[in-house]
Amino acid sequence: MKIILCGSSGKCGKEVYKQLLNNNYEIVATVDKDSKPLKYYLQIEKDIDLIIDFTNSQVAYKHLLLAIEEKIPFVCGTTGFNNEEIQNLKKLCLKKQIKGIICPNFAIPINILINNFETLSSDFEEVILEEYHHLSKIDIPSGTAKILKKKNPLLKINSFKYDSYLITYHLTFNSKYAKMEIDYKVESKIVYAKGLLYCLKHPNLFYNLLD
């Protein structure tokens, strides 16, 4: 599989790069702010199988439009797209008949939670999410929180920023007769990089904004 990785110098991109190499994937080019643009590599590299993007929403949107134009499947872990952008990408993927994945969170446990959240929370009268992210986090509430809210509109979300790279999702489920808590902490971006590799073989497990 011949891959172009966009955002390989970022916190998550670095780990994705390592995991791809360790699992014998062929990275034919990396695209970063100091490199040549994606369009350049698409002109000189032939038969690209996949474009992976971990940049920012403005840059990633342009990258995904290029991928669609060239009929190259893509997997994107970048967050912050608006609804108009998502709908346009969805329409173009359908028109070009290519597969694109935009997943706000590649942690495997989070995707299992998302897939089952509606059923899991149905027996409780109150569900609260407290999420903690680093000060550099741009989109708050997170994409993960918004997806869970979509699965259960009654979900109450409390989002916080603090000076730590430890990411925490704490869910509390309350009813008159029962209480349940889920506490998930991410200590390293390796979690997302390994999840992305799993996604390459098992894409249906992962929540896709383009579905």
- Residues with a known catalytic role: 133, 137
How many residues are listed for the chain in this entry? 211
73 CB-near residues (< 8 Å, 6+ apart): 49, 50, 51, 67, 98, 99, 100
29 CB-near residues (< 8 Å, 6+ apart): 4, 5, 41, 45
Distance CA 107, CA 65 (A): 25
Residue from 135, 138, 133, 131 nearest 57 by CA: 138
Under a CB-based contact definition with an 8 Å cutoff, are residues 84 and 177 in contact? no
**Tokens (6 digits) for 101:** 């994945």
Distance CA 151, CA 143 (A): 13
Question: Phi then psi for 11, rounded to 5 degrees?
Answer: -60, -45
Under a CB-based contact definition with an 8 Å cutoff, are residues 60 and 78 in contact? yes
